[in-house]
Amino acid sequence: MYLVKTPRLVQRLLPNFHWIGPSDDSDPTIYLTFDDGPIPQITPWIIEQLAAFDAKATFFCVGNNVRRYPELIKATLAAGHTVGNHTMHHLDGWESDNMPYFHDVRHCALQVKSSLFRPPYGRIKPSQAQFLQRHYEVVMWDVLSGDFDPEMTAEDCYGNVVKNAGPGSIVVFHDSLKAERNVRETLPRVLAHYAALGYSFAALTPELLAQNESAQDTTGTQLRTAN
């Protein structure tokens, strides 16, 4: 069970996580993200699709995949994309004790040089988040394509994105075998759709997210005290 669109309430209750990125009304920006790679079956193809639209994106890499395919993370960075830590073994924070979880994040950090972190499954305990936020920007999302879901058709995934993602949206896709079928059909259409609407596709960086944080501060101050 998962929600395609992260409710505003959840975003407001957890203001220390990044749910959206900065976007200018006159120059709308969307942030595509790809989790769980890199793998040779799909990551290079995604990089080609992005290049066709001069799009930049963010890849939350599983350290174990980077260890197996170091050339793929190099190619990702060389193409101008950014990368983030997604743990070494794709651990579920809710099911993990803190010390092994932090160890797995550190292990991934040896492969993935980045201060962006996305918890696998979006599941992270408050105590884990508190500690990791000393070192990382924790990046969630506001729209899930659902590409990993075998029950979803590519048409469903496309609808999930275009009906829900707007300026500043952080959209989740996967460079994984499970998602491959849906990503191959959906990604080119999503890129064409937003390009036609005049959007830029940008990669997330800690600097960009910091910029967005100060924009949110003016409205989020009261809720922050409840956290």
Q: Check 35, 104, 147, 175 and give the catalytic one.
A: 35
Stretch of 63-71, 115-123, 141-149, 219-227 lying at the interface with Zn ion (CB under 5 A): 115-123
Q: Which residue has the tokens 């669109």?
A: 5
Strands 143-144 and 200-201: unpaired
- Is residue 174 flagged as an active site residue? yes
Whole-number Å distance between alpha carbons of 204 and 211: 11
Q: Check 18, 81, 86, 174 and give the catalytic one.
A: 174
Task: For residue 206, give both structure tokens.
Answer: 């800690």
CB of 160 to Zn ion, least distance (A): 17
Q: CB-wise, 175 or 202, nearer to Zn ion?
A: 175
Site for Zn ion in 32-51 (CB under 5 A): 35-36
Q: Does 137 bind Zn ion (CB under 5 A)?
A: no
Stretch of 69-77, 99-107, 116-124, 181-189 lying at the interface with Zn ion (CB under 5 A): 116-124
142: nearest Cα among 1, 58, 17, 16: 17
Q: CB-wise, 22 or 93, nearer to Zn ion?
A: 93
Q: Does 120 bind Zn ion (CB under 5 A)?
A: yes
Whole-number Å distance between alpha carbons of 146 and 174: 9
Site for Zn ion in 208-227 (CB under 5 A): none
Site for Zn ion in 54-73 (CB under 5 A): none
- Is residue 156 flagged as an active site residue? no
* Residues found near Zn ion in the complex (CB under 5 A): 35-36, 120
What are the catalytic residues? 35, 174
